[in-house]
Amino acid sequence: MDYNTLIVLMGLLSTGSLLGGFGALVSLKGENLTADVAGHGVVSGVVVSKGLLAVLGAAWLAVPLLWVCGFASSALTLGFIFWARSRGYSAGAAQAMAIGLAYGLTLVLMSLVQGYGAFSTKGLTTLLLGDAATLSLGRILPAISMLLGAGLVFGVFWRGLMNWVLDPQSTQLQGQSSALALMWIVATVAVVLTCLPALGLTLLVGALTLPALAVRPWVRGFPALVIGSAAVGGVFATLAGWLSAGIVPLPTGALVIVTLGAVWLLSMILARGVSAVRMRRAA
Amino acid sequence: MNALTSMLRITDKSVSLSPEIALGVYGLSAGYGAETIVRDASFEVQTGERLAIIGPNGAGKSTLLKAVLGLIKPSAGSVRFLNRGFGAVRQHVAYVAQADEIDWRFPGKVRDLVAMGRAVHLGITGRLTATDWRAVDRALGSLNIAHLADRPLSDLSGGQRRRVLLARALVQDPQVLIMDEPFQAIDVSTREALIDVLDAFQAEGKTAVIVHHNLGDVQALFDRAVLIDGTVASVGSPQEVMASPAFAAAFGAVHQNAA
C-alpha cells in the first residue's frame, strides 16, 4: 500500500468513526438535519474565507481564516434556527429556512468572490461532494485529533451526556443544560468542519445517520450504540476507501455512503429476520 | 457566576430544609410565545403538605408547574422553594414529568434512568459511587420494581414507566416532590404502589405538589387543593375548593354534585 493510499484510509477511518459516533448522539436527539444545517452554514463561511484571503493575500492565514469564518457562519446559521424556533416556527420549517438561506447566501457570496478569482466552481463541487482521494496528512490531522479528543471526552462524561440526550428537561432542572447546549453547538460545527474535506456537504449527513441506524437493532445500551456506530462508520468508510483505491473505480465519498447504506439495509433485514425467528420460537 | 456555580455543583449548605413554607408562588404569569396561559397565580404550600393542583383540560396546570420549576420563563411573578430561589435548592426539589415526555425507545436500562436522579448530587463527570447505586436499588425496591432494574426502557408498560419515573425522583432524596398527573392511565396495583410511596414520603415531613385529574379521589388523597382555571380560582381544603363557585364555573354543576 502506497503512502497516499495509507493517508486516505487513515483519513476515512478517523472521519467515519467521528461521524458515526457523533451521529449516534445526533440521531438520539433527532437532530440529524441540524448537522446538515451546520454544514450549509459552514460553506458560506468557507467562501467568505477564500474572499478574505484573496483580498489580504496572506497565504499563512488560509487555515485560521477557514476555521474562524466556518465556525462563525455555521454558528450564525444554527442561531437562526434557535431564533426561528423561539418565534414559534416548527423545527422542520426552521431547518428548511436555514438550509435554503445558507445555500442561497453561499451562491451569492461565491459569485462575488469569483470576481477576485479566489474561488472556482470546482471549489464548490469539492465542498459539496468532498475529495477524499486527495486527502493529505495536514488535512486529516484535525479529524484524528478530534476523534481522540472526542473519545476522551466521551470516556469521562458519557453518563452526563446520556442524561442530557435522554431527558434534556431533567438536565435543565439540574442546572447543566445551558453549558451542554453551548458545547453541543460547538461540537456540531467542529465535526462538520473537520469532516467536510473528506465527504463534502451532501454526503456528510448520510455518514452521520447510517452507522447509528445500522447498529441500533443490535445494542441495548447508550455507550454500546455510540462506540458501535463509531466502529461501523470507521471500518466501512475505510473499506469503501480501499475498494475505491483499487477495485471499484468510483468517487470515494460516494462509495463510502453507498457502502454504509448497504450495511444499514443488511442490518435491518437481519434484525427483522432474527426478530421473526424469536417470535416463532416464543410462540 | 450562576452557571459556573451550577456546573461545579456548589450548593447552598445554609438552606433550611424545614421552613414553614415549602413552596411559594407569587403573582406568576406564564405561557408560550405571546400567549399567556396562566395569569397572576399566587398560592403557598406548607411543609409536609400534599397539595393537588386541579382544573379542567387546558386550564394551565402543567404550564404552571413548568413555570414554577423554571422550565418555561415566567413573564411575571416569583417562586420560592424552601425560602430560596430554585437555583439554590435544586437538589432538594424533584420533578416527575408526564410519562410521554421521555423517549422510551432510548437504548438504556431502567437502572440508568433511575440513576439520573443522583446526578444533581454528583460531580461534573456524573460518576456514581457504590452509595449512589445502593440508593438506586432502594428506590427501585420501594416501588416494587427491583426486578426491572436491567430491563431495557423500551420493554416497559405504562404503569411501569410511572413507577420508574417516581423512583428516579425519590433517588434524588428531595424535600419537595412535584408531579404532573402521575395517576393517569395506570392499573390498580400501580396506583396502590404510588400512594404507598407518597404516604411514606409525607410521613417523613416532606412536601408533594401533584397535578391531579381524577376529581373523585381528591378529598381522599390530598390535604389541600388549588383550582387552576387560567389563574388560581380557588385554594383551600378539597371540600372547600369543590364547593366553591369557581369549581362549578370550571367543571359545571354535575361534577360538583358528584364530588
Q: In 10 A of CB B220, how many CB atoms?
A: 8
Q: Which of B2, B62, B90, B112 to mutate to test the interface with A (most CBs of A within 10 A)?
A: B112
In chain B, % helix, strand, coil (3-state, to 5) comes to 40, 25, 35
Distance from the B233 Cα atom to the nearest Cα atom in chain A, whole angstroms = 28
Q: Which residues of A222-254 are buried (b: 16+ CB within 10 A; e: fewer)?
A: bbebbbbbbbbbbbbbbbbbbbbbeeeeebbbb
Pick the closest to residue B94 from B198, B195, B227 (CA basis): B198
Say yes or no to pLDDT of B151 above 60: yes
Pick the closest to residue B107 from A49, A212, A9 (CA basis): A212
Minimal-distance CA residue of chain B relative to A156: B125
Say yes or no to pLDDT of B253 above 80: no
Kindly state the average pLDDT of the residues B65-93.
Answer: 92
Looking at residue B12, its pLDDT comes to 45
Looking at residue B5, its pLDDT comes to 39
Q: What is the mean pLDDT of chain B?
A: 87
Kindly state the average pLDDT of the residues B234-245.
Answer: 93
Looking at residue A78, its pLDDT comes to 86
Q: CB–CB of B112 and A156 under 8 A?
A: no
Looking at residue B163, its pLDDT comes to 92
Residues in chain A predicted with pLDDT less than 50, given as ranges, are none
Kindly state the average pLDDT of the residues B80-93.
Answer: 91
**Residues near A133 by beta carbon (within 8 Å), at least 6 away in sequence:** A8, A244, A245, A251, A252
Looking at residue B30, its pLDDT comes to 92
Residues of chain B neighbouring A225 (CB-CB closer than 8 A): 107
Looking at residue B175, its pLDDT comes to 94
Q: Cell 430561589 identifies what position?
A: B85
State pTM to two decimals.
Answer: 0.82
Q: Where are the beta strands (DSSP E) in A31-128?
A: none
HEC states along A154-191? Answer: HHHHHHHHHHHHHCHHHHHHCCCHHHHHHHHHHHHHHH
Number of helical (H) and strand (E) elements in chain B, helices listed first: 11, 9
Q: Which of B1, B125, B132, B150 to mutate to test the interface with A (most CBs of A within 10 A)?
A: B125
Question: Range of A86's domain?
Answer: 3-282
Looking at residue B16, its pLDDT comes to 53
Kindly state the average pLDDT of the residues B154-174.
Answer: 93
The answer to whether residue B106 neighbours chain A at the CB level (below 8 Å) is yes
Q: CB–CB of A163 and B33 under 8 A?
A: no
Minimal-distance CA residue of chain A relative to B104: A166
Kindly state the average pLDDT of the residues B128-136.
Answer: 93
Strands lying side by side in the sheet with B93-96: B93-96, B176-180, B207-211, B50-54, B224-228, B232-236
Higher pLDDT, B112 or A66: B112
Residues of chain A neighbouring B7 (CB-CB closer than 8 A): 175-176, 179
Say yes or no to pLDDT of B257 above 60: no
Domain of B72, CATH number, reads: 3.40.50.300
Distance from the A160 Cα atom to the nearest Cα atom in chain B, whole angstroms = 6
Residue B28: pLDDT band with limits 50, 70, 90: very high
Looking at residue A121, its pLDDT comes to 62
Q: CB–CB of A163 and B3 under 8 A?
A: no
SS3 B166: helix
Cα–Cα distance, B36 to B183 (Å, whole number): 27
Q: Which three cell numbers stand for residue A188?
A: 456540531
Q: CB–CB of A220 and B109 under 8 A?
A: yes
Higher pLDDT, A184 or B151: B151
Tally of structural domains, chain A: 1
Cα–Cα distance, B162 to B149 (Å, whole number): 14
Looking at residue B228, its pLDDT comes to 94
- Paired strand residues for B79: B25
Q: CB–CB of B119 and A172 under 8 A?
A: no
Cα–Cα distance, B56 to B230 (Å, whole number): 10
Cα–Cα distance, A216 to B108 (Å, whole number): 12
Kind and range of the H or E run holding B134:
helix B130-142
Looking at residue B258, its pLDDT comes to 52
Cα angle: A40, vertex A223, A219; to 5 degrees: 100
Residue B198: pLDDT band with limits 50, 70, 90: very high
Q: CB–CB of B120 and A174 under 8 A?
A: yes
Strands lying side by side in the sheet with B76-81: B35-46, B21-32, B76-81
Looking at residue A231, its pLDDT comes to 97
Residue B94: pLDDT band with limits 50, 70, 90: very high
Tally of structural domains, chain B: 1
Looking at residue A193, its pLDDT comes to 82
Taking one residue from A and the other from B, the number of pairs with CB-CB distance under 8 angstroms is 85
Domain of A109, CATH number, reads: 1.10.3470.10
Question: Range of B9's domain?
Answer: 2-258
